[in-house]
Chains A and B, each alone.
Chain A
Amino acid sequence: MLITRRADFSASHVCRLPGLSDEDNRALYGAASNPHGHGHNYVIEVTLEGEPQPETGMVFDLKRLKEVIQQEVVEPMDHRFLNREVPPFDTVVPTTENLAIEVWRRIEPCVTGPRVRLHAVRVYETEDLYVDYFGGQP
């Protein structure tokens, strides 16, 4: 069974590579390369896979999952400039892909148990662009 919890946060970011000129960064990332940054209302969905436990009837305590997402992702990232304030985005470009991988990296150790595993992380940058990461080689 898959269970999903949704959360959201707002943050600014900029997508540019330090080794490239302004022109090359604009060609690669478009408007997202503006060095002053810009922001999004990010929405994340965290999906766990497991079987309901006979005693609780739950795959995982959703209150606990809410706390994990809050502590690992929302508190450090909400109303922050990702590139300046949230490692590893001081050195890793905060594309939606890299953000999904980072959310996985932060949440996976907190939810993995003998009967439950992290199945997927979805990050919506806008309602017209989202990334699903299922772990493993990105």
Chain B
Amino acid sequence: MIRVTRRYRFSASHRLNSAGLSAEENRALYGKCNNPHGHGHDYALEVSVRGPVDRASGRVADLAALDALVREQVLEPFDHHDLNAEVPAFAERVPTTENLAVEIRARLSARWPEVFPGAGPALDGIRIQETKRNRFELHD
């Protein structure tokens, strides 16, 4: 098995606040992340793609196509944006990094068959670092 991983970066602001909880409960649950004015992170996103290696080109995937897909689905809508205010998926859902990972995978999966049709490379998983001290992973 062979897997190719590409790393991307985006910066975004968010606020963790659950509509079902009181102001006090939200403060207790999310701490500083509940600050009403929001705050931001430099996120690092890794996208992993699984083989096979194309005999002729020696590559698993066309990286330019992968870059374009990630740019369109993740970097353009998220980079230098307020996730709560500007990304519809987070209008109701709390933009924790767990939920961000689920949203990013859904966005990539939805367009995947068009970008990599047939027996092309499969989306193996994604990894997000919200800061250098944490990491969230989703594998297929």
Contact = CB atoms under 8 A, between A and B. Distances in A.
Interface of A: 15, 17, 28-30, 92-98, 100-101, 127-138
B2 A101 contact: yes
Contact of B53 (A17, A127, A134, A138): A138
28 contacts: A15-B58, A17-B57, A28-B62, A30-B64, A92-B58, A93-B57, A93-B58, A95-B58, A97-B4, A100-B2, A127-B7, A128-B6, A129-B5, A131-B2, A131-B4, A131-B5, A132-B2, A132-B3, A133-B2, A133-B3, A134-B2, A134-B3, A135-B1, A136-B1, A137-B1, A137-B52, A138-B2, A138-B53
Given A17-B57, A101-B2, A138-B52, 7 more contacts: A93-B57, A95-B59, A130-B4, A131-B3, A135-B1, A137-B1, A137-B51
Contacts of A30: 63-64
B56 interface: yes
A92 B7 CA distance: 26
Contacts of B2: 97, 100-101, 131-134, 138
Contacts of A98: 53, 58
Interface string B57-86: 111101110000000000000000000000
A132 B5 contact: yes
Given A100-B2, A134-B2, A138-B2, A95 B57 contact: yes
A47 to B, nearest CB: 13
Contacts of A29: 57
